[in-house]
């Protein structure tokens, strides 16, 4: 079948009449010949379109209820200098989760004021680097961090802009959300009172920030999960955060200006899956925020969000070369064809880590062969080294074929490892019929250079 492949591929993925696939106007066979495999291929136009889509959808929806929005691209999903620049050019700010991500955003020319720094265990060096760069917000994650940020700000004679990350008890992911009072996880400060009653850790942190002249309390932050497909979770979290905001105002007279509702917007990983639609979620969340503020009689805060996966996930694919192909007879008599590729869990840990599902297709040619039940596996010494658990591939799949896995733009390269001392693949951007290496392939010499013997 020729034409645009559609969900879950990026907009620029097209099967040509000769059977090969192109992305961003570049034939995958040329990409493989020029850059080798495995390679992460990033469709720049698709990334930009999704970044714009989120910015426009949220700006429009919140303007309608009377407030503004900042969209922070969550760099943890994938951050390279070029990617940070694209995000900025499309009107997004950049959310970082470490000193390394901060350094890349700064190298890209993102102004400090448009960068946020997250982390449940930031080092002093990371906090200091953020303050020296004049970041727009440090999202504090614990009571001790309030003191540490204040001390480092005092040493510099600056006032640090901070948000307090709270845990709302709302967890979301996939199609559902759940709500619990107490949270058993490492992030944020709970809005529920501790075992001895009294102020919640979240309220204690807010009060501590308000009390410190070296800190400016910008707002309250909440992130409820990932791959969320149901807006109800965001609305429930907004309710908790806005109640806390009103409670703080009652206590102290300080009505914080901003509320960050985090990231987690879900995408399609498989054909037929329906991704979260940004216009719809933006409208739903905006009207919920407006209604909740009206209930509290408080003016609307400025809102920020932090999408990562939804911006970069669908824009990426991973290009592999097929090696060993091995049919295995299952207990129920079915045959599963194990298709080994030249990468695996070191370039995409998500199937092994979370059981994440992906979709793959042969992309160097088309085939009329009867499809077979296949499992795409990597080349690592680990039986859990699965790239795609289950997919139908043409029965004549063979060594040398090019195979692409869709929607690997988020948390592929950024979670990659050197397991088995494999070298990490390059990140190659495609746009307007040309390709460009954003991050070069690691070499064995790179690995040997780190090993001091």
Ligand X SMILES: Cc1ncc(COP(=O)(O)O)c(C=O)c1O
Which of 1, 330, 381, 449 is labelled catalytic?
381
Query: Taking Cα atoms as reference points, which of 234, 189, 239 lies closest to residue 58?
Result: 234
* DSSP secondary structure letter of residue 419: G
Residue 50's Cα: distance from chain center in Å? 13
Q: Which residue has the tokens 């946020």?
A: 116
Of 307, 343, 351, 412, which lies in the binding site for ligand X, with binding defined by CB under 6 A? Answer: 307
Contact 425, 441 (CB under 8 A): yes
**Shortest Å, Cβ 77 to ligand X:** 5
Of 262, 343, 364, 412, which lies in the binding site for ligand X, with binding defined by CB under 6 A? Answer: 262
For ligand X, which stretch binds (CB under 6 A), given 25-33, 57-65, 73-81, 279-287? 73-81
Of 21, 28, 51, 77, which lies in the binding site for ligand X, with binding defined by CB under 6 A? Answer: 77
**Shortest Å, Cβ 117 to ligand X:** 11
Residue 303's Cα: distance from chain center in Å? 19
- Known binder of ligand: residue 453? no
Q: Using the minimum distance from each CB to ligand X, give the nearer residue, 226 or 366.
A: 226
Of 70, 90, 101, 306, which lies in the binding site for ligand X, with binding defined by CB under 6 A? Answer: 306
**Helix-helix angle 44-65:81-89, to 10 degrees:** 40
- Known binder of ligand: residue 233? no
Contact 5, 15 (CB under 8 A): yes
Residue 355: its H or E element: none
CA-to-CA separations, 36 to 30, 41, 363, 413, in angstroms, rounded = 9, 11, 15, 16
Q: Identify the burial level of 325 via C-beta atoms within 10 angstroms of its C-beta, where 0-12 means exposed, 13-18 middle and 19 or more buried.
A: middle
- Known binder of ligand: residue 411? yes
Of 35, 93, 118, 239, which lies in the binding site for ligand X, with binding defined by CB under 6 A? Answer: 118
- Known binder of ligand: residue 432? no
Q: Using the minimum distance from each CB to ligand X, give the nearer residue, 137 or 375.
A: 137
- Known binder of ligand: residue 101? no
* By the rule CB under 6 A, 74 interacts with ligand X: yes
Q: Using the minimum distance from each CB to ligand X, give the nearer residue, 201 or 262.
A: 262
CB atoms within 10 A of CB 17: 8
Contact 287, 237 (CB under 8 A): no
Q: Is the dihedral of CA 100, 103, 104, 110 positive or negative?
A: positive
Q: Using the minimum distance from each CB to ligand X, give the nearer residue, 21 or 303.
A: 303
For ligand X, which stretch binds (CB under 6 A), given 249-257, 258-266, 366-374, 427-435? 258-266
For ligand X, which stretch binds (CB under 6 A), given 150-158, 302-310, 383-391, 412-420? 302-310
* Residue 293 among the catalytic residues: no
Stretch 207-226 residues interacting with ligand X (CB under 6 A)? 223, 226
1/13 Cα distance (integer angstroms):
13
4 three-state secondary structure: strand
Question: Which residues are annotated as part of the binding site for substrate?
Answer: 309, 350, 354, 382, 411
Question: Which residues are annotated as part of the binding site?
Answer: 264, 306-309, 350, 354, 382, 411
Binding site for ligand X (CB under 6 A): 74, 76-77, 95, 118, 223, 226, 262-265, 306-310, 410
Tell me which residues are annotated as active site. 381
């Amino acid at each position: 079948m020729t034409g645009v492949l559609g969900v879950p591929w990026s907009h620029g993925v097209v099967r040509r009449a000769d059977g090969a696939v192109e992305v961003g106007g570049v034939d995958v066979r040329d990409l493989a010949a020029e850059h080798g495999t495995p390679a992460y291929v990033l469709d720049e136009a698709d990334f930009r379109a999704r970044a714009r889509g989120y910015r426009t959808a949220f700006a429009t929806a919140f303007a309608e209820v009377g407030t503004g929005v900042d969209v922070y691209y969550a760099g943890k999903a994938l951050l390279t200098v070029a990617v940070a620049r694209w995000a900025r050019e499309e009107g997004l700010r950049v959310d970082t989760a470490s000193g390394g991500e901060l350094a890349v955003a700064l190298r890209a020319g993102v102004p400090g004021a448009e960068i946020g720094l997250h982390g449940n265990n930031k080092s002093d060096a990371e906090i200091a680097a953020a303050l020296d760069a004049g970041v727009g917000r440090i999202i504090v994650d614990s009571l001790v961090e309030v003191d540490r940020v204040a001390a480092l700000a005092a040493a510099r004679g600056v006032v640090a802009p901070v948000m307090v990350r709270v845990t709302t008890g709302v967890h979301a992911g996939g199609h559902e959300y759940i709500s619990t009072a107490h949270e058993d996880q490492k992030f944020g400060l709970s809005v529920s009172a501790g075992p001895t009653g009294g102020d919640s850790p979240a309220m204690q942190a807010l009060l501590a920030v308000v009390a410190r002249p070296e800190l400016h309390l910008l707002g309250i932050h909440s992130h409820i999960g990932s791959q969320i497909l149901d807006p109800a979770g965001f609305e429930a979290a907004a309710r908790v955060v806005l109640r806390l905001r009103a409670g703080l105002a009652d206590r102290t007279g300080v009505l914080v200006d901003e509320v960050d509702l985090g990231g987690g917007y879900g995408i399609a990983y498989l054909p037929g899956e329906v991704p979260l639609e940004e216009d719809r979620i933006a409208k739903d969340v905006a009207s919920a925020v407006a209604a909740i503020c009206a209930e509290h009689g408080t003016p609307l805060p400025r809102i920020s969000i932090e999408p990562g996966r939804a911006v970069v996930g669908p824009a990426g694919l991973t290009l592999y070369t097929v090696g060993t192909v091995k049919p295995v007879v299952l207990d129920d008599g079915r045959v599963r064809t194990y298709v080994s590729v030249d990468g695996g869990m070191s370039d995409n840990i998500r199937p092994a880590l979370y059981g994440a599902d992906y979709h793959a297709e042969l992309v160097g040619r088309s085939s009329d062969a009867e499809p077979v039940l296949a499992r795409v596996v990597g080349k690592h010494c680990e039986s859990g080294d699965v790239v795609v658990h289950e997919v139908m591939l043409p029965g004549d799949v063979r060594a040398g074929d090019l195979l692409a896995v869709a929607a690997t733009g988020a948390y592929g390269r950024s979670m990659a490892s050197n397991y088995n001392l494999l070298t990490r693949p390059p990140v190659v951007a495609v746009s307007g019929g040309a390709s460009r290496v954003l991050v070069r392939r690691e070499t064995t010499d790179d690995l040997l250079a780190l090993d001091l013997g």
